[in-house]
Amino acid sequence: LPFGQMSFWGATVITNLLSPFPSLIEWVCGGHYVYNPTLKRFFLFHFQFPFLLCGFRILHLFYVHFLSSNNPLRNSTNNKIPFFPFIFLKDFFGFILILCLYLLQTHFGISSFSHPDNALEVCGLLTPLHIVP
C-alpha cells in the first residue's frame, strides 16, 4: 500500500470513526495515532481479507451448487443444469477475465488514477489545501 499524504489522512479519518471507543483506536492503530504499526496492520488486513473472501466464496459454491439448495415450494423438476462443466466454465471464464485485467494493471502500472498528493512524504502537521473539514 502506498503510504503518502492522502493515505495518511484517509487512515486518520477512518480510525477517527472509532473515537467513541478509545481502547479500540489503540488496538487498531497500535497507539493513539496513525503511524508505522497502523500501516503494517492495514497492510496485513488488505492482504488477508481477499483470501478470507475467497474461502467464503468456495464454501458458498460447495454448499449451494454441489449440495444443492433446498426448494421451499417442493416443486420437483428434472431440467437441472449440472454445475460441472456448464456453470463451472462460466465462473472460470469470469475468473480468467478478472485475472487478465489484474495482470494488465499490475504489469503496465496504471497508477495514474492515484492522487498526486499521495506521492508526498507523510506530514501529520500539514493538511492538503483541498481537504476542507
Q: Mean pLDDT, the chain, as a whole number?
A: 86
Q: What is the pLDDT of residues 21-53, one digit of tens each?
A: 989 999 999 888 898 899 899 999 999 999 999
Q: What is the pTM of this model?
A: 0.63
Lowest mean pLDDT among 4-13, 78-87, 88-97, 107-116: 107-116
CB-based burial, 40-55: b 16+ in 10 Å, e otherwise: eebeeeeeeeeeeeee
* Predicted pLDDT of residue 2: 72
Lowest mean pLDDT among 35-39, 53-57, 74-78: 74-78
Q: What is the mean pLDDT of residues 8-19?
A: 90
DSSP 50-109: HHHHHHHHHHHHIIIIIS----TT----S-PPPIIIIIHHHHHHHHHHHHHHHHHHHHHT
For residue 81, pLDDT beyond 90? no
Question: Among candidates 43, 44, 26, which has minimal Cα distance to 34?
Answer: 26
* Predicted pLDDT of residue 112: 66
For residue 96, pLDDT beyond 90? yes
For residue 125, pLDDT beyond 70? yes
Residue 71's pLDDT band (cuts 50, 70, 90):
low
For residue 109, pLDDT beyond 80? no
Do 7 and 1 meet the contact criterion of CB atoms below 8 Å apart?
Answer: yes
